[in-house]
């Protein structure tokens, strides 16, 4: 394997790769299985903490007392209202038209025009002029309606005009809640006797002109000028219905106001007036009665507001209140960052600078270091496997001459082999110098196998040493079937050595067999590990921007 460091190339994803199925799948997994939460920094400061709690308390008071209770933030509301109004005026008045002439008028005379949409004109004063279609006398004779109207001298208003009564009939509907109401909920006996009063009869739909004038203009002089020159009055009917309560509590509220300016402030075109005429013919001549009417114009407006409890509306308002509570944190952050004397410390803890280029370099360095370590580890494993193989070859070469010699002796004298070995002098076992050296593998030291010198140099000829056979059978032979006895015997005969009973070669053979089995196991595991490392996919580098 080469010792050069691997080359790593980092490049941004193209548009096609970004919208690929695998990338979209990873994005979806991160969206489903990953959760992000903001970083929280705790500040141990009494001043900032008290300021934060004070702002939060004020926001809670505003949200609970005003939004939830006063404005009924737990209700779904409906302000689109369908309304219809009917107006009727009753009363008889009279006016002095001459020294001994009195004109009595009723509703058919002073209601002009008879019907309007959401409005009413009540005539309280007038100037009438009977005219004939002819040439009018003067410096220049002009054909027209004569005589000309004289409005310089305005008469007094109609008497008893303050006692006229106005009956207002109103029908409404809230289409969202399918609720229909009207302002006439009382019985007939009550309606025949009641007159509107702000203190005692607030729901009575019958209004006296004097009561309305007292409300819109308390000044008596202004009241008289309004009757003489006319004026404009607003009547507002407001329906505020809490549908969480009984429907009988859904009743209107009446308010009044003056729309035209006071006479003491207006110097041009004061009051409200208009002209209308009635025509007839007599003996082939055309006549008309021209009337300049002064009076009070009532403009009726209807508005409504209905509410009913709704869980969604309540949830939205609670969420809005929680969002408003974040205003306290925002204000405290501004104070801590720019006003507090230790703002630098808080700024260091609050914000974290991230350099994307530096992060890329750190990622590449860590990745390169990891790959270098992996390459070094693989080299070490390869060297270890090669050392083990060389040791196995040395052992097999060292054992081969003895095996061949024994095989030849066995073929020549198969019957008296045991007798010859027991009666003959101690044999000399020759070992190659390669085995006498220590074999080092995983801190395991193989015991030396060259004991021939110690045996030949033994000075005691009288000692009797018994020899025994040592068979080194590999563990793989135990898994062979029972029918292969000849093959097993042949392998055992090759792997059989004869040594003295008190020789350390016996224990050396045992340790050698254990060493061989361990080497086989480790070599197989290292081979498997190397294959797994080769099959391991290359590391994946992700850059989050």
Residues 6+ apart with CB under 8 A from 58: none
Whether residues 240 and 99 share a domain: the answer is: yes
The CA–CA distances, whole Å, from 144 to 135, 178, 286, 510 equal 6, 59, 11, 152
Whether residues 104 and 175 share a domain: the answer is: yes
Contact 290, 129 (CB under 8 A): yes
Whether residues 157 and 224 share a domain: the answer is: yes
Give the span between the Cα atoms of 159 and 125, in whole angstroms: 9
Whether residues 54 and 85 share a domain: the answer is: no
Residue 257 falls within a domain, yes or no? Answer: yes
Whether residues 245 and 97 share a domain: the answer is: yes
Give the span between the Cα atoms of 173 and 179, in whole angstroms: 6
Whether residues 113 and 243 share a domain: the answer is: yes
The reported pLDDT for the residue numbered 253 is 93
Q: pLDDT (tens digit, 9 = 90+) per residue, 134-161?
A: 888 777 777 888 888 888 888 889 888 9
Whether residues 303 and 332 share a domain: the answer is: no
Give the containing element (helix H, strand E) for 130.
strand 119-136
Helices (H), 230-342: 311-334
Instruction: Return the closest-CA partner of residue 350 out of 54, 38, 7, 41.
Output: 41
Give the span between the Cα atoms of 509 and 519, in whole angstroms: 15
Give the span between the Cα atoms of 462 and 426, in whole angstroms: 11
The reported pLDDT for the residue numbered 207 is 95
The reported pLDDT for the residue numbered 179 is 92
4 half-sphere exposure, CB direction, 13 A CA radius: 4
Whether residues 327 and 242 share a domain: the answer is: no
510 half-sphere exposure, CB direction, 13 A CA radius: 4
User: Which stretches of the chain score pLDDT less than 70?
Assistant: 1-13, 353-356, 359, 385-545
Rg (CA), the chain: 60
Q: Which residues pair with 282 in a beta bridge?
A: 285
Whether residues 60 and 113 share a domain: the answer is: no
Q: Which residues pair with 287 in a beta bridge?
A: 132, 280
- Indicate which CATH number applies to the domain containing 322: 1.10.287
Whether residues 93 and 65 share a domain: the answer is: no
Whether residues 202 and 264 share a domain: the answer is: yes
| CA quadruple 238, 240, 246, 247: dihedral sign | positive
Cα separation of the two ends of the chain: 37
Give the span between the Cα atoms of 307 and 313, in whole angstroms: 11
In the chain, the number of structural domains is 2
Q: Which long-range contacts (CB under 8 A, 24 or more apart) does 337-341 make?
A: 340/45, 340/47, 340/48
Instruction: Return the closest-CA partner of residue 63 out of 317, 382, 308.
Output: 317
Residue 32 falls within a domain, yes or no? Answer: no
Instruction: Return the closest-CA partner of residue 81 out of 188, 184, 170.
Output: 170
- Indicate which CATH number applies to the domain containing 93: 2.60.490.10
The reported pLDDT for the residue numbered 461 is 40
Backbone φ, ψ for residue 140 (5° rounding): -115, 120
Residues 6+ apart with CB under 8 A from 237: 168, 170, 183, 252, 253, 254, 300, 301, 302, 303
Place of tokens 């035209």: 260
Residues 6+ apart with CB under 8 A from 438: 445, 446, 448
Joined tokens for residue 388: 């083990």
Residue 168 falls within a domain, yes or no? Answer: yes
The range of the structural domain enclosing residue 317 comes to 42-74+312-350
| CA quadruple 283, 285, 286, 291: dihedral sign | negative
Instruction: Return the closest-CA partner of residue 243 out of 313, 186, 178.
Output: 178
- Where a domain ends, among 255, 290, 307? 307
Whether residues 221 and 251 share a domain: the answer is: yes
């Amino acid at each position: 394997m080469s010792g050069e460091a691997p080359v790593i190339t980092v490049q941004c994803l193209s548009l096609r790769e970004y919208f690929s199925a695998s990338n979209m799948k990873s994005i979806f997994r991160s969206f489903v299985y990953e959760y992000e939460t903001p970083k929280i920094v705790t500040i141990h400061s009494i001043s900032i903490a008290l300021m934060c709690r004070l702002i939060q308390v004020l926001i809670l008071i505003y949200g609970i007392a005003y939004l939830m209770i006063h404005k009924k933030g737990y209700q779904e509301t409906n302000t689109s209202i369908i309304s219809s109004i009917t107006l009727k005026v009753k009363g008889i008045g009279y006016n002095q038209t001459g020294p001994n002439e009195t004109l009595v008028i009723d509703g058919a005379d002073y209601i002009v025009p008879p019907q309007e949409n959401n409005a009413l004109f009540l005539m309280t004063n007038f100037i009438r002029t009977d005219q004939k279609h002819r040439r009018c006398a003067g410096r220049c004779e002009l054909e027209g309606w004569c005589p000309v109207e004289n409005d310089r001298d305005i008469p007094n208003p109609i008497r008893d005009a303050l006692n006229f009564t106005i009956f207002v009939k109103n029908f409404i509907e809230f289409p969202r809640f399918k609720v229909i109401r009207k302002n006439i909920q009382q019985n007939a006996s009550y309606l025949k006797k009641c007159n509107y009063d702000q203190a005692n009869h607030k729901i009575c739909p019958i209004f006296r002109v004097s009561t309305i004038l007292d409300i819109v203009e308390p000044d008596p002089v202004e009241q008289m000028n309004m009757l003489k020159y006319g004026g404009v009055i607003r009547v507002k009917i407001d329906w505020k219905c809490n549908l969480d309560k009984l429907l009988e509590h859904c009743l209107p509220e009446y308010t009044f106001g003056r729309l035209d300016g006071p006479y003491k402030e207006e110097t041009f075109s004061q009051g409200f007036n208009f002209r209308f005429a009635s025509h007839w013919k007599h003996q082939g001549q055309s006549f008309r009665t021209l009337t300049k009417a002064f009076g009070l114009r009532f403009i009726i407006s209807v508005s409504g507001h209905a509410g009913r409890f709704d869980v969604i509306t309540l949830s939205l308002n609670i969420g809005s209140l929680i969002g408003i509570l974040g205003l306290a944190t925002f204000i405290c952050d501004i104070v801590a960052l720019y006003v507090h004397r230790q703002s630098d410390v808080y700024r260091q803890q609050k914000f974290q600078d991230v350099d994307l280029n530096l992060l890329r370099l750190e990622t590449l360095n860590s990745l390169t270091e990891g790959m270098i370590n992996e390459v070094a580890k693989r080299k070490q494993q390869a060297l270890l496997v090669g050392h083990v193989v060389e040791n196995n070859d040395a052992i097999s070469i060292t054992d081969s001459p003895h095996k061949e010699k024994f095989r030849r002796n066995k073929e020549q004298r198969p019957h008296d082999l045991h007798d010859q070995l027991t009666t003959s002098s101690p044999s000399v076992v020759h070992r190659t110098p390669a085995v006498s050296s220590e074999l080092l593998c995983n801190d395991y030291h193989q015991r030396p196998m060259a004991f021939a010198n110690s045996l030949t140099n033994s000075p005691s000829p009288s000692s009797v040493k018994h020899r025994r056979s040592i068979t080194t059978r590999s563990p793989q032979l135990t898994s062979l079937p029972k029918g292969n006895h000849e093959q097993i015997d042949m392998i055992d005969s090759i792997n059989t050595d004869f040594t003295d009973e008190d020789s350390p070669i016996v224990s050396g053979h045992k340790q050698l067999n254990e060493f061989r089995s361990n080497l086989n196991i480790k070599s197989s595991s290292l081979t498997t590990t190397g294959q797994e490392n080769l099959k391991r996919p290359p590391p994946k580098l992700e850059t989050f921007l």
